[in-house]
Amino acid sequence: MPLDLTAVKPDPALLDLPWSLPLEDWPEEHLAALPRGISRHVVRFARLSGQVVAVKEISEPLARREFHTLRNLRRLDLPAVEPLAVVSGRTDGADEPLDACLVTRHLRFSLPYRAVFSQRLRPDTARRTLDALAVLLVRLHLAGCFWGDVSLSNTLFRRDAGEFAAYLVDAETAEIHPALSPGQREHDLVIAHGNIAGELMDLEAGGQLDEGEDPVEIADLIMHRYDLLWNELTGEERFEQGDRWRVDERIRRLNNLGFDIDELEMSTDVDGTHIRIEPKVVDAGHHSRRLMHLTGLDVEENQARRLLNDLDSYRAATDRQGEDEELVAHDWLARVYQPVTRSVPRELRAKLEPAELFHELLEHRWYLSERAGHDTSLEDTVADYVGTVLPGRPDEVAVVGVDTQEIPIQAHLEG
């Protein structure tokens, strides 16, 4: 039976991969070195046209279903891995059928949860990571996506200005509806609580959870965080007519959570004494979209907020508040952001993505300035950071060409 390749943008190099071999038997020459761990299916990271892809061996109906679900999630601008292809019609050397494979693009600079917890991070790492998962789950539910298997293992995390942004990586059980019922949302939350508590207990047994942290308590906190976010984004609010300033306050709170309001529904009581406000359509990415519009930089939400703050500082420092915002942003990009990120030695650029590196440089500049008692230049900050901090950071981009068996972290892969 001939090989069947369904792809978004077909890459001829896909045909060069050893599809006649079971995925677990693929030779090391095709594989990329990334942490390997437990998965329901066999998953391998492979090199393809200078990039890294995740290949998951799975039955053809499930592979095609997940492929289309991931494509729909991407169309909805939701944080999920990018599907590239489904390869079916595979047979081995004896002409015996093999399962199909789902190919997705590896999310650069992303970390599976075990890799996050294996590093030396702040004591509240667990809560910050789970906070990102709560935001992801709210975004999915607002868009009508029922996940069906919410867990840390099915999520990848990227650094986002000291915090984390979460991405859905396994959509086998996901379903997209016009809207979710309360029962569907509750079902996802019950699954999330049980899975997260279990995964954190596993980390605790391995000594990778901060001392004194209670796995069940942390799982409870993510449910609480989810409820706070959901109620803020969808809940109705009533107030007196004279308190219309609270409409602006509600909008600012939503913007600070990273959400835009596309529509508000406002109505008054029969006697006109009370106003009811309800956000009708909300979307995440207020700051990242604004930065993209101004500079073309495609970064995470908290990173965008930090970069926009530095852009505002640049505008004030150069006394250009009255000038066109796009012109000032272009100058900031050319005179501040790009020279700073490009001044890092090439051999150290795999440590962090540029936006996170710029954020850390701003943090380091504040630290140096406080210690010195006066402002430290960005040039001096870069020199100190590159000399004393960055070399000790682990690479967070894929390392290609190393025997994957030599990597000790037992981390879940994309799938």
Reported as a single tens digit per residue, the pLDDT across 221-239 is 889 989 988 888 887 777 6
C-beta separation of 215 from 201 below 8 A: yes
Fold of 4-106: Phosphorylase Kinase; domain 1 (3.30.200)
Q: Which two tokens stand for residue 159?
A: 């650094």
**pLDDT at residue 210 tops 50:** yes
**pLDDT at residue 403 tops 50:** no
* Alpha carbons 405 and 397: distance in angstroms, whole number: 18
Give the pLDDT score at 405: 34
* Paired sense of beta strands 145-146 and 100-105, if any: unpaired
**pLDDT at residue 271 tops 80:** no
Burial class of residue 49 in the structure, from the number of CB atoms within 10 Å of its CB (0-12 exposed, 13-18 middle, 19+ buried):
exposed
Q: Report phi then psi at 343, rounded to 5.
A: -80, -10
* Alpha carbons 414 and 39: distance in angstroms, whole number: 9
Give the pLDDT score at 396: 61
Place of tokens 């915002």: 325
Give the pLDDT score at 401: 37
Q: How many angstroms separate the Cα of 243 from the Cα of each of 24, 254, 272, 275?
A: 64, 18, 13, 9
**pLDDT at residue 270 tops 80:** no
Residue 203: band (very low, low, confident or very high) from pLDDT cuts 50, 70, 90: confident
Give the pLDDT score at 400: 37
**pLDDT at residue 62 tops 70:** yes
**What percent of the chain stands above pLDDT 90?**
35
More reliable by pLDDT, 124 or 88: 88
Highest mean pLDDT among 230-234, 242-246, 251-255: 230-234
* Bridge partners, residue 52, by sequence: 47
Give the pLDDT score at 278: 61
Highest mean pLDDT among 14-18, 229-233, 254-258: 14-18
Fold of 111-234: Transferase(Phosphotransferase); domain 1 (1.10.510)
Domain assignments of the chain as residue spans, ordered by start:
4-106, 111-234, 237-284, 287-386
Mean pLDDT of 167-182: 94
C-beta separation of 45 from 34 below 8 A: yes
Amino acid at 133: L
* Alpha carbons 45 and 349: distance in angstroms, whole number: 22
User: 3-class DSSP state for residue 94?
Assistant: coil
Give the pLDDT score at 122: 56
More reliable by pLDDT, 109 or 337: 337
For the stretch 300-309, what's the b/e string if a residue is b when 16 or more beta carbons lie within 10 angstroms of its beta carbon? bbbbbbbbbe
Burial class of residue 12 in the structure, from the number of CB atoms within 10 Å of its CB (0-12 exposed, 13-18 middle, 19+ buried):
exposed
Same fold across 4-106 and 111-234: no
Give the pLDDT score at 259: 66
**pLDDT at residue 402 tops 70:** no
Give the pLDDT score at 409: 32
Amino acid at 192: A
Q: Which two tokens stand for residue 270?
A: 């029969």
* Alpha carbons 140 and 156: distance in angstroms, whole number: 15
More reliable by pLDDT, 228 or 246: 228
Q: 290-294, 326-330, 399-403: which has the minimum mean pLDDT? A: 399-403
Taking phi over 0 as left and psi of -120 to 50 as alpha, with beta for the rest, 285 belongs to: left
Reported as a single tens digit per residue, the pLDDT across 367-379 is 898 888 888 888 8
